[in-house]
Amino acid sequence: MTQNEKPWIALAATNDLPIARPPVNHVVKDIADIREIQLPYKTLSTEDIIFWAQQLQGAEGILLRSGYITGEFLEYLPNIKVIAVHGTGVDPVDLNACTERKVYVTNTPGANADAVTEITIGLMLSLARQIPTSALQVKQNLAWDTARHTGSELKGKTLGLLGLGEIGKRVAVIAKAFGMNIIGHDPGLTDREIQNRGANSVSFPELAKNSDFLSLHAPAIAATRNIINKEFIAQMKPTSFIINCARGSLVNEVELANALTANHIAGAALDVLEGEPPNPSSPIFNAPNIILTPHMAGSTLECLNTIAATAAGDIVRVLRGESPKNPVNGPF
């Protein structure tokens, strides 16, 4: 880049996974040029990496909503200073490789909290009252009396929360307004901190045994991978439900599908899956009593605007030589 050239940042997005452009333009202003790169959301071959690295040549920042930035990919991107992940989970980025190359990785903690909280409650109600099943029967079969399923109320039920960060504590507040009893498990918090966030602290086995509804709000780390598995589900009530609007890796899909087929639990609602895009041969698609949504918990206009502005703000800070507000690694 010559002295008079502006740096440029890439918006890695697709038509299905867009980035809100107006807030990015407002934040970036004349500090850098902005280019949209439709980086595919899949694992890339070396040949594909070389192709997409050519599209990204010279970019100093990436606002990443679509695609994976691996260590191999970074080798072809010598100018990159910061990768701002569009959301909270940074698993699409090789954090160790970025740290070795002194590339900042940032995220947007809390920016999607209201949107994810609302859909979590919506999925809980959908499971309890069998809303999707009834609606589909009315629309497709013109059924009426036969489409009227007897559900259950949330009042008096126990909601178990695995994770009590920004989203978990918001879910607790709304669930309590429904008259639910709230229990929670979060190894990163003390019992008092969990209590202050609206839940009674319980052990992991107690969470399984006592939850009528289990809502997952934990990060995707090694300790949480497949934490919801056949051993955990075996301890749950046969009338209980699982809701996952966090990360797909928390749930062993095969073992959940088997549990649903065997009626070990009453149902589940998943907004995230182990692989995204998901494996079409996964048994989860044929499991009974399950609601599947396409990772849309954060897909509201308000949320997308907030995330875009927050992520772009950190890119601008790094390009100015400042420290980002929401770093996941560093400082450098």
In the prediction, which pLDDT does 13 show?
Answer: 96
332 found inside a domain: no
Per the prediction, the chain carries an average pLDDT of 95
pLDDT over 80 at 105, yes or no:
yes
Catalytic residue chosen out of the listed positions 197, 264, 295, 317: 295
Cβ pair 68, 61 in contact under 8 A: no
Omega into 277 within 30° of 0, i.e. cis? yes
Rg (CA), the chain: 22
Residue 1 has pLDDT above 70, yes or no: no
Task: For residues 237 and 313, state if they share a domain.
Answer: no
In sequence order, the β-bridge partners of residue 31 are: none
User: Which pLDDT value is given to residue 46?
Assistant: 96
Digit-coded pLDDT (tens) for 262-278: 999 999 999 999 988 89
Phi/psi region, residue 58 (left: phi>0; alpha: psi -120 to 50; beta: rest), is: left
C-alpha span between 108 and 84 (Å, rounded): 8
CB atoms within 10 A of CB 79: 13
Is residue 126 within 8 A of residue 105, CB to CB? The reply is no
* Edge-to-edge order in the sheet of strand 8-12: 33-37, 8-12, 61-64, 82-85, 104-106
Element (H, E) at 33: strand 33-37
Considering the chain, what percentage of its residues have pLDDT values greater than 90?
91
**Same domain, yes or no, for 146 and 161?**
yes
Q: Report the distance separating Cα 60 and Cα 116, nearest Å.
A: 31
pLDDT of residue 277: 82
Residue 29 CB burial class (10 angstroms; 0-12, 13-18, ≥19): exposed
Residue 4 banded pLDDT, cuts 50, 70, 90: low
Is 61 part of a structural domain of the chain?
yes
State whether 122 and 263 are in the same domain.
yes
244 lies in a domain?
Answer: yes
Find the helix packing angle between 301-319 and 21-28, rounded to 10°. Answer: 30
pLDDT in tens, 113-123: 999 999 999 99
Average pLDDT, integer, range 316-328: 97
**C-alpha–C-alpha distance, residues 250 and 261, integer Å:** 20
| Residue 227 shares a structural domain with residue 126 | yes
DSSP state of 90: -
* Catalytic residue flag (residue 247): yes
Contact between 23 and 309 under an 8 Å Cβ cutoff? The reply is yes
Instruction: Find the catalytic residue in 170, 217, 247, 264.
Output: 247
Same domain, residue pair 315 and 252: no
pLDDT confidence bin for 2, thresholds 50/70/90: low
Residues 135 and 268 in one domain: yes
pLDDT computed for residue 197 by the predictor:
97
Whether 2 maps to a domain, the answer reads: no
Residue 325 belongs to a domain: no
pLDDT tens for each residue of 25-39: 999 999 999 999 999
Angstrom distances, CA of residue 183 to CA of 163, 204, 300, 332: 10, 11, 28, 40
Q: pLDDT by residue (tens digit) across 166-225?
A: 999 999 999 999 999 999 999 999 999 999 999 999 999 999 999 999 999 999 899 999
Query: Does a structural domain hold residue 232?
Result: yes
Q: Would the pLDDT of 71 be above 70?
A: yes
Q: Are residues 101 and 117 in the same domain?
A: no
Residues 249 and 131 grouped into a single domain: yes
> Using an 8 Å Cβ cutoff, are 183 and 207 in contact?
yes
Q: Is residue 3 part of a domain?
A: no
Contact 253, 283 (CB under 8 A): yes
- Quote the pLDDT of residue 213: 98
pLDDT of residue 275: 85
Contacts of 201 (CB under 8 A, 6+ apart): 183, 184, 185, 189, 191, 194, 195
Quote the domain boundaries for residue 128: 113-292
pLDDT in tens, 278-292: 989 999 999 999 999
Q: What pLDDT, in 10s, does the model give residues 232-242?
A: 999 999 999 99
Query: What DSSP assignment string belongs to 185-248?
Result: E-TTS-HHHHHHTT-EE--HHHHHHH-SEEEE----SGGGTT-BSHHHHTTS-TT-EEEE-S-G
Residues 262 and 173 in one domain: yes
Query: Which is nearest to 220 in space by CA: 243, 200, 244?
Result: 244
Q: Is the pLDDT of residue 124 over 70?
A: yes
| Residue-level pLDDT at 95 | 96
Q: What pLDDT is recorded for position 89?
A: 86
**How many domains is the chain built from?**
2
Decide if 118 is catalytic: no
Residue 3's pLDDT is 55
pLDDT digits (tens, 9 = 90+) for 7-64: 999 999 999 999 999 999 999 999 999 999 999 998 899 999 999 999 999 999 999 9
Q: Check which CATH number belongs to the domain holding 80 and give it.
A: 3.40.50.720
Question: Are 182 and 309 in a shared domain?
Answer: no
Q: Are residues 103 and 120 in the same domain?
A: no
Average pLDDT over residues 255-260: 98
Is 89 within the bounds of a domain? yes
Amino acid occupying residue 177: A
Q: Are residues 262 and 313 in the same domain?
A: no
177 token code pair? 């307004």
Distance CA 250, CA 232 (A): 12
pLDDT recorded at residue 147: 85
Whether the CB-CB separation of 227 and 171 falls below 8 Å is answered with no
Which has more confidence, 3 or 80? 80
pLDDT confidence of residue 86: 96
